[in-house]
Structure 1
Amino acid sequence: MKILIALASITLLFTACSKPSENKMTKAPKNYLFLVGTYTDGPQQGLNILRFSPEEDSISAKVLSPDIQNPSFVIATRDADRVFTLEETAGEGGGDIVSFSFDKNTMKLNMLSKASSGGDHPCYIGMSPNEKFIAAANYTGGSLSILSNEPDGTLKLLQTIQHEGSSINEARQNSPHVHSTVFNPSGDRLLVADLGTDKIYNYKVSPESDTLLSLVAEYDQSPGDGPRHLTFSNDGNTVFVVQELTAMLEIYDFKEDTFTLKQRLSLLDEGFTGDVGAAEVRVTPDGQNVYASNRGDANTISVFLKNAGGEYERIQNIPSGGIMPRNFNFTKDGEYLLAAHQASNDVVVFKRNPEDGKLSKTPWKVEINKPVYLFQLPD
């Protein structure tokens, strides 16, 4: 009997000692934070912060920075201590690029600097890999600009390049419309998609030169395509382009400044009729999946999967869950995709299948006034 009592005591002691250790190992619920760029209808609106915690069954959003007019695109440095947005406006000096300091603990932004974008209605900003430069696309201005990002957060306009030309769609392509400015992973090239001229421009980035940007080549797109957004593979050797006016995804080899078309894939189901407006393209870090959104009468997200031969096939067209899916983004772990809808004023969450990348809609949704861009903050 004494032996049994002793064993029971030892068991209780072990259990009591193990509980604190187990509590220490308890993982905090997954908590995803996104900055949300919007179009504004009043001074009380502006940049938003979105918090999504699937384990807590929670999604919410609040305005972070009011009194910013049409901050339709937003990015941050890798450590998230600096945030950059734009004011998609027009005027004597064009629109503006704005920098903030950001305190993630208090969720507060403090404006540091505002500089002209060099043209009307900036709609896109890209950051160089070394985080020293910001490139801006001025849509109605038909130009691109590059600004320096100083250590104290001050922005300085360094160079503006005006595009010239037009294309066949008289309603949308009667003049240049620069729509995206994307640095390659090494930071020595800047690819610029111009919807109005049906071209992608390749600029050399030379930080030590008096001329920071110099044109290397122009790559003609199919007439009427309207190249909008593009993204690189991790190694920089493949470029994925979404063509707004024809709802096509194009995949290019990009090596030694040559731009070679590999695939041209439709975002549309067979027999579709109606207006289109392809908007965003994103590729997963492993390169196995490519996703593209389509507005107009489609309101879909297309999922492409790389096959054994190295080519991409469309495996899913899924309703985006709202109206006008201008932008979408993944959570860092790739488990979820969030789609922002400009016209239905909401952000909808999809679960992503890790095996093939297919999406399934979840019940999570949050209302935000005209959300048009999502940028995930680091953990």
Structure 2
Amino acid sequence: MEKEESPNYTFLVGTYPENPSQGICKLYFSPGSNILEVSLLKDSISNPSFILANKANNRAFSVEEVASEQGGNVVMFEMGTSFQTLSSDPTFGDHPCYLALSPDEKWLVVGNYSGGNFSLFSISPDSLTHIQTVSHSGESVNKARQESAHVHSTVFSPDGSYLMVMDLGTDKVYQYQFDPLNDSPLSLTQEIEMTPGDGPRHGVFSPSGNEFAILQELSGFVNIYSFDDGKMVLRQRESIVDENFTGEHGAAEIRYSPDGQNIYTSNRGDDNSIAVFRRDSNGNFKRIQIVESGGIKPRNFIVTSDGKYLLSAHETSNDIVVFERNPESGELLQTDLKTEVNSPVYLFEISGN
């Protein structure tokens, strides 16, 4: 019987560069060869803190998380040996921090944190066209962080009919219907209020599409909703830290496992941890593990597409650490694989590796 060949993985890495010689990186991970190495793809780019690619691996998109008269920028690249810049466009809001591709990959949404708004672009092979910008207004109870609207993430539903927008500043999640045939494709359908002081940061759909989980940055909770054609019902609200935790929360990323049986969250506050939740026989999630993330300030992590590994990126300790994932329970075990990279803040797995 032949031994199963260990897969290799490739990731795009978003960073906060300290000088023009740094920028967007590529991470190569070969478990079989015990290799974890980083190489530079694009230098001289300002704060490419969020990056993703299309399924064909021929186009990549990155924010430039800056502020200017027209806001930050969204940049499109041709993926190849040169990683050539094809276009750079203003986002019409300061400090863009999140990108969402529509399921048909014809549309791109950029969330602008300081701008408190988000912008929709149509995608052509060599350019982006601005279609619509939607602004939020309001505030909430945390005067240091919630003095105004702060759009932190934008997520398309799996069928592309809805766009979910997490606004940390207003303590609301906004649901927009998306109709590409309209001149203004995005229209507000409902505002879902969070607990005051939650600070909704990132949201994620389950692989089946019938659940939507929201990570609250400021309170350290996960809200889990059922999702049925836009109708959301709160099912659970779970803490990502132990009950005796007294430090500052800094919840950062949330992911489902590919099989939908686990939810993972990171806390970059005073805890530097990753929490693991497991679905029980009733379909509810229970926290089963909290592990040290292996570095300082785990702003982002990713579960590999086959569910075998979790890689944690640490903004402050400047490294990426590999965990093995138990396929039965979803529990994590840190390996000795670690690589240095300047201020890694987002990981995106390139498909087809």
TM-score w.r.t. length of structure 2: 0.97
Question: 1:253-280: per-residue Cα shift (whole Å, max 9, x none)?
Answer: 1224322110000011121111110011
Instruction: Please give the root-mean-square deviation of Cα atoms over the aligned residues, in Å.
Output: 1.3
Amino acid at match of 1:121: H
* Residue pair 1:82, 1:153 contacting (<8 A) in 2 also: no
Deviation, 1:28, is 6.1
The within-5 A match list for 1:325-340 is 325-340=298-313
Aligned match of 2:289: 316
Among 72, 87, 107, the alignment partner of 1:95 is 72
1:184 to 136, 154, 157: 157
Secondary structure at 1:325 match in 2: coil
**Contact in 2 for aligned 1:39/1:72 (Cα 8 Å):** yes
Q: Could you tell me how far apart the structure 2 residues matched to 1:268 and 1:31 are?
A: 32
Which of 38, 42, 57 pairs up with 1:80? 57
* Structure whose alpha-carbon radius of gyration is higher: 1
Indicate the residue corresponding to 1:213 in structure 2: 186
Q: How does 1:252-263 map to 2 (within 5 A)?
A: 252-263=225-236
Contact 2:197 2:219 (8 Å CA) reproduced: yes
* Structure 1: 5+ residue stretches without partners: 1-21
Give the counterpart of 1:144 among 101, 104, 118: 118
Which residue of 46, 51, 56 corresponds with 2:33? 56
Q: Answer yes or no: is the 8 Å Cα contact 1:302–1:317 preserved in 2.
A: yes
Structure 1 residue 63: deviation in Å?
Answer: 1.1
- Determine if the alignment matches structure 1 residue 124 to structure 2 residue 102: no
CA contact (8 A) 2:131 2:184 kept: no
Partner of 1:168: 141
Shift, 1:142, TM fit: 0.3
Q: Within 2, Cα distance between the matches of 1:331 and 1:353?
A: 13
Q: What's the CA shift for 1:236?
A: 2.1
What letter is aligned with 1:41? E
Give me the whole-angstrom Cα distance separating, in 2, the residues matched to 1:257 and 1:184. Answer: 9
Provide the residue aligned with 1:42 in structure 2: 19
Q: Deviations over 1:291-325 (max 9, x none)?
A: 00001111000000000111100000000000000
| C-alpha separation in 2, matches of 1:254 and 1:309 | 17
Quote the offset at 1:157 in angstroms.
1.3
Matched, 1:358 2:331: yes
1:144 alignment partner AA: F
Structure with bigger helix share is 1
2:79 alignment partner, SS class: strand
Amino acid at match of 1:284: S
Aligned residue for 1:156, secondary structure, equals: strand
4+ residue runs over 3 A deviation: 25-29
Query: For residues 289 and 28 of structure 1, do their structure 2 counterparts lie closer, same or farther at Cα, with a shift above 3 Å needed?
Result: closer
Match of 1:69 among 23, 43, 46: 46
- CA deviations on 1:221-276 (whole Å, 9 max, x unpaired) are 00000000000112322101000000101100122432211000001112111111
CA–CA separation in structure 1 for the residues paired with 2:109 and 2:243: 38
User: Number of residue pairs matched?
Assistant: 352
In 1, the alpha carbon distance for the partners of 2:229 and 2:101 equals 22
1:273 match: secondary structure: coil
CA displacement at 1:26 relative to structure 2: 8.7
* Deviation sequence 1:90-123 (CA, Å, 0-9, x none): 00110000001112xx4x3011011111100000
Q: Percent identity?
A: 49
* Residues 105-163 of structure 1, C-alpha deviations (whole Å, 9 max, x = no match): x4x3011011111100000000000001111110000001111111x230111111110
Deviations 1:166-209 (A, max 9, x none): 00000000000000000000001000000000000001111111
Q: How does 1:181-330 map to 2 (within 5 A)?
A: 181-330=154-303
- Aligned partners of 1:157, 1:241: CA distance in 2, in Å? 28
| Matching of residues 16-31 of structure 1 within 5 Å | 30-31=7-8
User: What is the deviation of 1:330?
Assistant: 1.4
Gaps of 5+ in 2: none
Q: What is residue 86 of structure 2 aligned with on the other side?
A: 112
Equivalents in 2 of 1:27, 1:268: separation in Å? 37
